[in-house]
């Protein structure tokens, strides 16, 4: 794993940097393999990135878009990560519907939805049940509590190491999330972190010693590149590495 920490002057500069890395990785993947795969983060930070991606002329017919986690709400719910990315980006580019792979949230049991999505990933990447596919890019954010995706502190999801997708829980509300090993098999993971409220979580994530179950983002150590893109507000105690 190669870890790169960059502190950018503001959110716009952070988004522009993330855009440059995403474009580089996806174009390289398409050039090398004829296909590029990306899993999206939810929340608010990545929305301007998705809006900028809508203005790019990528080979959309060769790009496949997934989500790293999803709130367990209907696809048209205001809290839906799928809805946010479609409105900001995917509905505004000529990407085939079959290239967009949302996590279904219409099963009565979220565990069934997690299993279904894992099976879809295995079929798409043509991996065996015991293998973890390698996404070209996985985008992540962190919460003020140092969660990432829907891997929340002291939840069972943090310990799932034999599946691609599992059920997370925030304040008793179910979510569907990539597991730690699936994220850690990615070629490139990009954390986008903005705002002073993230300073405390970052200090614990980067501390030499801290409890991984309390600060789940510490568990993310991909086989490829790990980018930490921080705006000045979040990363004022950091220097560019």
Given the rule CB under 6 A, which residues bind ligand 6PG?
41-45, 69, 71, 81, 141-143, 147-150
As a whole number of angstroms, the distance between CA 73 and CA 63 comes to 26
Provide the token pair at 158.
């943090």
Structure token digits, residue 209: 């010693």
**Residue 81 Cβ vs ligand 6PG, minimum distance, rounded to whole Å:** 5
Distances (CA, A) of 48 to 10, 43, 84, 119, 134: 13, 11, 11, 31, 25
Question: Quick one: 74 or 96, whose CB is closer to ligand 6PG?
Answer: 74
- State how far the Cα of 136 lies from the Cα of 38, in Å rounded to an integer: 6
CB closer to ligand 6PG out of 27 and 169? 169
CB of 56 to ligand 6PG, least distance (A): 21
The least CB distance from residue 169 to ligand 6PG, in Å, is: 12
We find the least distance from the C-beta atom of residue 142 to ligand 6PG, in angstroms, to be: 6
Residue 43 or 181 with smaller CB distance to ligand 6PG: 43
Closer residue to ligand 6PG in complex, CB, 41/165: 41
Inter-CA distances, 230 with 18, 60, 89, 194, Å: 10, 28, 23, 6
């Amino acid at each position: 794993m190669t870890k790169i920490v960059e502190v950018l002057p503001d959110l716009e500069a952070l988004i522009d940097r993330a855009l440059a890395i995403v474009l580089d990785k996806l174009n390289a993947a398409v050039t090398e393999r004829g296909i590029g795969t990306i899993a999206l983060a939810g929340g608010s930070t990545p929305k301007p990135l998705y809006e900028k991606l809508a203005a790019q002329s990528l080979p959309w017919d060769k790009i496949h878009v997934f989500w790293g986690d999803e709130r367990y709400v209907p696809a048209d719910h205001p809290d839906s990560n799928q809805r946010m990315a479609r409105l900001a980006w995917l509905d505004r580019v000529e990407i085939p519907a079959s290239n967009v792979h949302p996590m279904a949230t219409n099963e009565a049991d979220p565990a069934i939805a997690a299993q279904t999505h894992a099976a879809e990933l295995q079929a798409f990447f043509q991996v065996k049940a015991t293998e973890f596919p390698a996404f070209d890019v996985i985008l992540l954010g962190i919460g003020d509590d140092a969660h990432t995706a829907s891997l929340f502190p002291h939840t069972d999801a943090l310990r799932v190491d034999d599946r691609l997708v599992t059920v997370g829980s925030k304040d008793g509300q179910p979510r569907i999330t990539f597991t730690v090993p699936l994220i850690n098999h990615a070629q490139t993971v990009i954390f986008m972190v903005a705002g002073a409220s993230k300073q405390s979580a970052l200090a614990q994530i980067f501390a030499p010693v801290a409890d991984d179950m309390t600060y789940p983002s510490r568990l993310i150590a991909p086989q490829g590149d790990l980018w930490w893109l921080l705006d000045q507000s979040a990363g004022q105690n950091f220097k560019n590495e």
